[in-house]
Amino acid sequence: MPGAPAAGPTLLAERLVASWQRSEDYGVPLDAIEPSFVGTLNDESLFFECGREVLTGLHQTLVNEPVSLMLTDADGLVLNRLSGDTALLRALDKVHLAPGFAYAERTVGTNGLGLAIADRVPTVVRAEEHYAISLCTYTCAAVPVLDPVSGRLEGCVNLTTWSAQSSELLLALAQSAASNTSALMLARSRGQRPRPAQRGEVFRVETPRLEPGSGTLSSLGPAWTDALGRAGAAIGAGRIVAAVGEEGTGRATLLAQALRQELPRERILAASPPAPQDSEAWIGLWTPELGKPDTGILVRDVDRLPAWVAEHIRDLVLQARVRSTPDEHLPFCVTASSFDAIPAALAPLVGTVVSVPPLRERPEDVMPLAHHAASRVRGRGVTITRSAETALRGCGWPGNARQLIEVVTQAARRTDTLDVRHLPADVLSGSSHRLTRIEAFERDEIVRVITRPGISMQEAAEELGMSRATVYRKLAQYDIHVPRSQS
C-alpha cells in the first residue's frame, strides 16, 4: 500500500490502515481530489435545522480562529460551512471541501468526516494521515450525529483547520457540537423519548427455550406470509438472506421464524450492534459460533455497523464457507433499512433480499397483532371495543408493529376492556407536522377530554375552556379522529 501510515498498537492506527486499504480498493487517486458534486441539499431536516443553529452559535465564539465548521449528511455530503478565516475558506474551495460536494471515503479517501461516518465514532485525521496528498495541509475532527429517537445516522459535525495549528481541542469542540445538536433534536422531536444506547446484545438460544421470534404470530396476512415463504425458501437453499424495511416492521422476527421453520433443530444466535467503541468485544462474543453445526446466526441492523466491523464479519463468513462441505449450509441472515444501506463489505454476500412491508401497508395484520399483544400481557384474551378497533385500524403506525405492540401492551396493563380512551393521543391524531411541546400538550388534553365516555362536545368545550367552534377547529388542526365509544 503506497505511503500508508504504519500500523501502531492503537485502535486509531488500525482504523487508519483499514481506511487507507479501502481507499486504495476504491481506486481513489493519491494526487488529486475529485469529490462528486451533488448540489441538491436537504436543508429542511430536523438535523440540519438543529445542527446549523448549534454551529452558528459556536462560530460566533470562534470567528477569529482559523477553523471551518461544517455539517454533512450520512453520505458525507457537505451541507453548510462557516468560518471567519477567508484564507482557509479559499484553500478549502480548491480541494472542494464545500457545500454540495460529497466527501465520503469512497470518493476522496481517508479523511476525518469520511472515516467518522464509516466507523461511526469520533475521529481526528491529521496532516499526513490523509490518503490524498492535497489534504495533508489540514487537520479534521469529525463526530457522527445519531437521531436521538430512531438511532439513525443523520450525518456528522466536522471541524477543519490548518495542519500546523494545534488540534488538541478540535475533537472536544466537535463532540460538544454533536452532542448539543442531538439534544436539540430531541427537544424538538415532539417530546419523544431518546432511543436507549446500543448495548450490543448477543443471545444464544437453545431449541426448547425462548428465541428470537418466539411467541410471535406467523399466521398473518398475505404480505407477511409471502415474505416469510421467500425467506424460508432462500434459507433452505443455503443463501444468505437480508430482510429490509422500516424499523419496527418485524424484520428480525420474520427471519427468526423462517430459520426455525427451515431448521427446526438448530439453535439461533441473534446479535444487535453495539456502540461503536464496544465493537471489538462484541465481535468476540458471537463470531466463534459462526459456521458451527446446528447454529443459525441473525445479525440485526448491519447498516449501523462500522465499516471495519462489516469487513471483519465478511472475512469470517467467507472463511466459514471455505471450511464447510458442499452439502453444508451456512445459516446467516441480516437486517437493514434497505439493501443500499448494507455495508459494501457485506452486500455481495447477500443472496436474497426480502422486503418487509410497513404495517400501514398490511392493515389486515393490525388486529391479530393487537389481540396477540394484549393476550401476552394478561395471559388471556382481552376485549377490544369496536371504537378502539376503528382507531387502531385507522392509525398510520409510523413506528410499525413495534409501536402497535407497545401501545396495546401499555393499554392492556390498565384494563380488561380496551377502549379508545385507553389509547395515546398520537394514535388518534393524523397530524404529520412536528408539534411543539405546547401543541402536543394541547392535543393530548383535547383527546383526554373528548374520549371520556358519555361526554358531549359542549361539555368537552366547557372543560377545555374553549368554544365548541374552537374545539372543532382544533380537531381539524391536529387531524384528531375519535370513533364513538361502543363495545
Cα dihedral sign, 338-43-69-177: negative
Selected from 3.40.50.300, 3.30.750.24, 3.30.1490.440, 3.90.1150.10, the CATH number assigned to the domain covering 202-357 reads 3.40.50.300
pLDDT string in tens for the chain (487-residue length): 444 444 334 456 888 999 999 999 888 988 878 887 876 677 788 999 999 999 999 999 898 899 999 999 999 999 999 999 999 999 999 999 999 999 999 889 999 999 999 999 999 999 999 999 999 999 999 999 999 888 889 999 999 999 877 667 899 999 999 999 999 998 887 655 556 666 666 654 433 334 555 667 778 999 999 999 999 999 999 999 999 999 999 999 999 999 988 888 778 888 999 888 888 889 888 888 888 878 889 999 999 999 999 999 999 999 988 887 666 678 899 999 999 999 999 999 999 999 999 999 999 999 999 999 999 888 888 899 998 898 898 888 988 999 999 999 999 988 889 988 888 887 887 665 666 777 777 887 888 888 888 788 888 888 888 888 888 888 888 778 777 654 4
Q: What spatial distance separates the first Cα and last Cα of the chain, rounded to whole Å?
A: 72
Q: Which residues on neighbouring strands pair with residue 124, listed in sequence order? A: 141
Work out the angle at residue 293's Cα, subtended by the Cα atoms of residues 298 and 227, and round it to the nearest 5 degrees: 35
Domain 363-477: assigned CATH number:
1.10.8.60
Q: With contact defined as beta carbons under 8 Å apart, do 15 and 138 qualify?
A: no
Tens of pLDDT, residue by residue over 261-311, are 888 877 888 899 988 888 888 988 888 888 887 888 999 999 999 999 999
Q: Which three cell numbers stand for residue 436?
A: 411543539
- Rounded to an integer, what is the distance from CA 113 to the centroid of its chain? 19
Domain boundaries, the chain: 11-187, 202-357, 363-477
What local confidence, expressed as pLDDT, does residue 299 receive? 95
Q: Given this model, what pLDDT does residue 433 score? A: 60
Least Cα distance to 265 among 208, 323, 338 occurs for 208
Which residues are CB-neighbours of 40 under 8 A, at least 6 positions away? none
Residue 80: strand pairing partners: 71
Put residue 53 in one of left, alpha, beta given phi > 0 → left and psi -120 to 50 → alpha: alpha
Superfamily of domain 11-187: GAF domain (3.30.450.40)
Q: Which residues pair with 242 in a beta bridge?
A: 334, 353
Q: What is the spatial order of strands in the sheet that 352-355 belongs to?
A: 202-205, 267-271, 295-299, 332-336, 241-244, 352-355
Convert the pLDDT of each residue in 19-74 to its tens digit: 999 999 888 988 878 887 876 677 788 999 999 999 999 999 898 899 999 999 99
Torsion of CA 338, 119, 155, 21, to 10 degrees: -90
CA 7 – CA 24 distance, rounded (Å): 16
Tell me, what's the pLDDT at 206? 39
DSSP 434: P
Residue 12: predicted pLDDT:
61
228 neighbors 235 (Cβ within 8 angstroms): no
CA distances (Å), origin 254, targets 62, 114, 259: 51, 34, 9
335 vs 301: CA distance, rounded Å:
5
Q: How would you class 67 by CB atoms within 10 Å of its CB: exposed for 0-12, middle for 13-18, buried for 19 or more?
A: buried
